[in-house]
Structure 1
C-alpha cells in the first residue's frame, strides 16, 4: 500500500495565494470597517498606557452595543410570547457581561502611576456619561431621572436614553407575560409609571413561587426566571469588577466626571434588579 503524498507547505501557500486577490471584491477589512475602527484611537497624552485605556473602553462600548441589540430584541420577544428566541438572546447577553468582566482584568494592569500620567488629559470625560450603559441599566429596570442629565447636551443620545427610560423594562415585560399566562399579579405591577424604579412586591413573589414550586406546569416561565437570574448574576460581577478595578487604580479619588468614584460604584452593588427572583429562594 502506497503512502499518501502530502503537498509541501510552500505549494499550499502558493495555491491559496492565487485565490487571494480581493482588489475587485469586498474584503474582510471593508466589511468590518476596520480602517475606521482601527483609526479611532487618538491618544492625547504621551503616556504609553493611554492606548490600553482607550481600547478597553472602546471595546466595552462595542460589547454594550451588542448587549443593547440583544436586550431590545429579547424584550420584544417576551412581549410577543416568543420565549425560545428570548432565551437565546438573554443567554448571549449574560456571556457578553462575562466578556466585559474580563475587560477589567486587562485594565487592572494599569497601575496608579500609569493612570496618573493619563488622567490630566481626560478632562471631565467619564464612563458615567456612557449613554449605552445607561440604556442597559434602564432596560434592566434601574430607572433614575437624574441619570438623564449627563446626556442632555447631545440630543440624539438623550433621545435614545429617554426612550429606554420611558419604556417598560425587561422585567416589566416578564411580569405582563406571567399575567397573560393566568398567574395572579397586582395591577400596580402591570400598568404603572414605567419611569419609576421597580419596587418589590409580595404578590409578585407569590406568583414566582407558584412557578418555581411547579416548574413542570410553567416550564417556560421557570426558564425565564432562571435566564433573568443568570443575567443579573453576570451584571453584578461586572459591577463588582468595575468597583475593584477603579479602587485599585485611583483609590477613593473623585471620578473625572465629578462623581464620588468608588463610593458611588459601591452603592450600585446594592441595587437588585429582579428582587422577587432572589427573595423566593429563601422560601423554596
Structure 2
C-alpha cells in the first residue's frame, strides 16, 4: 500500500493520507486538553459521549435510507441496513458501560462542569427519536400496498418472509433502543442516586417514566393478538 505524505502548514510535520482522510487532527482536538481536565475521568466521559454522537449520526443516515428503500419496496436492502443499525445500538450499549468504570464520587468531581447539560439535549438522540417512529408509517404503507395484515405476515411466514423479517428487524431495533435507555437510566441512578435531579433538571422519577415508550407499539400489540389467536385455536 502506497503511503502518501503531505506537509501540513504551520505544524512542522507531514500528514499521512490516513490522517487527512479521517481528519484525525480535527477529531482528536475535540476533547479537552489534558491540562484543562477538571478530573481524570472527564476525558473518558467526553470520548464516550462523542462516540454516541458519531454512531447516532451514522444510524440516522441509515434510517433515512431505509425509509427510502421501504418506499420503493426494496426489502432485502432495507433489512440489511436495519441489521446494521441494530448492531450499532449494541455497540452503543457497550460504549455506555465504559462509564461504569468510574465511581460516583469521581463523577461528582467534574459534574459541575456540565452545568445544565443533559443527554436529552443530544442532537443525535433527538434525530433517532424523530426518525425511528416514521419507519412504522413506511412499513404500514408497504403492508397496505401488498394487501396483507400484520397478523397474516406472522401466521403465514412462508408467504411473506421478507415482510416478516422486516417486522422482526424493527422490533429488534425497538428492543435494543429501549435497553439502551434503561441502561442509561440505571447508570444515572448509579452515579447520582434515585432521588436526585439530573443535570438537565429532570428528576429520576420522570426519566424512569420515559422507559415505557416504544417506537412500534403495534408490533408489540400484535403479539397479544397472536397469543389470543393461538389460545382460541387450542380450545377447538
Task: Report the TM-score range of the alignment, normalised by the length of the smaller protein.
Answer: 0.7 to 0.9
Q: Equivalent residue for 1:191?
A: none
| Residues 1:175 and 1:21: Cα distance change in structure 2 (over 3 Å) | closer
Structure with greater helix share of residues: 2
Q: Equivalent residue for 1:67?
A: 59
Q: Equivalent residue for 1:264?
A: 206
Say if 1:45 and 1:121, in contact at 8 Å, map to a contact too.
Answer: no
- Of the three residues 23, 39, 43, the one matched with 2:29 is 39
Gaps of 5+ in 2: 8-14, 228-236
Q: Cα deviations across residues 71-111 of structure 1 (Å, max 9, x unaligned)?
A: 11001110111111111111001001001100111011121
Please report how far the alpha carbon of residue 263 of structure 1 lies from its aligned counterpart in structure 2 after TM superposition.
2.1
C-alpha RMSD over aligned residues: 1.8
Please report how far the alpha carbon of residue 120 of structure 1 lies from its aligned counterpart in structure 2 after TM superposition.
1.1
- Of the three residues 183, 191, 196, the one matched with 1:241 is 183
Q: Aligned partners of 2:141, 2:199: CA distance in 1, in Å?
A: 40
Gaps of 5+ in 1: 1-15, 142-168, 184-206
TM-score computed with the length of structure 2 as normaliser? 0.86
TM-score computed with the length of structure 1 as normaliser? 0.72
Please report how far the alpha carbon of residue 26 of structure 1 lies from its aligned counterpart in structure 2 after TM superposition.
5.6
- Of the three residues 126, 130, 136, the one matched with 2:128 is 136
Q: Aligned partners of 1:49, 1:70: CA distance in 2, in Å?
A: 32
| Residues 1:254 and 1:182: Cα distance change in structure 2 (over 3 Å) | same
Q: Equivalent residue for 1:94?
A: 86
Larger Rg: 1
Runs of 4+ in structure 1 off by over 4 angstroms are: none
Say if 1:112 and 1:249, in contact at 8 Å, map to a contact too.
Answer: yes
